[in-house]
Amino acid sequence: MKWIDLFTSSVGKKFIMGLTGISLIAFLIVHAGLNACIWANDNGEMFNTAAYFMGHTVVIRIAEIGLFAGILLHIVQGLVLVFQNQRKRTVKYAVPIKDGKSKWYSRSMGLLGTLVLLFLVMHIAHFWVPSRITHTLDEVQLGLKTGENLYARMLDVFQSPLVVILYVLGCISLCYHLMHGFQSAFRTFGVRNDRYLSILTPVGVWFSIIICATFAMMPISMYLGWVN
């Protein structure tokens, strides 16, 4: 067994998918928690301070590199898996498979992942690029420090109803992706005890709904003027 087998064997590839997937989930929790600061309704002070902390802490900037590497690996391995698996049945059935059990979203992880990817490209272009690359955001005074007004950027971006709809659709795709992905990752790691499996699936479903609804409510509450 060579280490490269972890990236090329069928079980190894799934392990990498699960590992990167769960890391991305951990990131989502932090991301949702920080962004929830917008609901403090203090004209973005708490949120901008949190964003300043994230952007100016060395450990977090290093973790950011890890996050990008992880998501890249997840996307590349995910697409490789989907295309390889599709090629295993060249002659298709005339009557589509009706197994009576598998969920549509568990069969559509490649499609859902691609929708999430499209969303991510738009999302990174909206916030990460102006903040970290082009530095085109307005400045804001945070106590003694000068930070970027990401809050104002959010308010600005979420004035467009089309953008708000695209964000909500992105969150829905992510929700279904995680409804299957969460429990699938743990099964990939070897979890098989009935006692844990029976809580894993509902925990995964509720986690996906709560985290994605939290994200979806951000553009919605800005568009509707609940925070300003």
| Site residues (vs ligand HEM, CB under 6 A) | 14, 17-18, 21-22, 24-25, 28, 74-75, 78-79, 81-82, 109-110, 113-114, 116-117, 120, 177-178, 181-182, 184-185, 188
Task: Name the CA radius of gyration of the chain, rounded.
Answer: 20
Q: Is 149 helix (H, G, I), strand (E, B) or coil?
A: coil
* Partner touching 179 among ligand HEM, other proteins, none, CB below 5 to 8 Å by kind: none
101 binds other proteins (CB under 8 A): yes
Number of residues forming the site for other proteins (CB under 8 A):
44
Measured N-to-C along each axis, helices 10-35 and 161-188 cross at an angle, to the nearest 10 degrees, of 130
Minimum CB separation of residue 29 from ligand HEM in Å reads 10
Nearer to other proteins, 77 or 214 (CB): 77
Minimum CB separation of residue 199 from other proteins in Å reads 14
Minimum CB separation of residue 26 from other proteins in Å reads 20
Cβ atoms of 21 and 185 within 8 Å: the answer is yes
* Partner touching 116 among other proteins, ligand HEM, none, CB below 5 to 8 Å by kind: ligand HEM
Minimum CB separation of residue 111 from ligand HEM in Å reads 9
Nearer to other proteins, 107 or 135 (CB): 107
Nearer to ligand HEM, 54 or 152 (CB): 54
Q: Which of 204, 166, 197, 196 has its CA nearest to residue 25? A: 204
Q: How far apart are CA 176 and CA 182, in angstroms?
A: 10
Q: How far apart are CA 136 and CA 117, in angstroms?
A: 24
161 burial type by CB count under 10 A (0-12 exposed, 13-18 middle, 19+ buried):
exposed
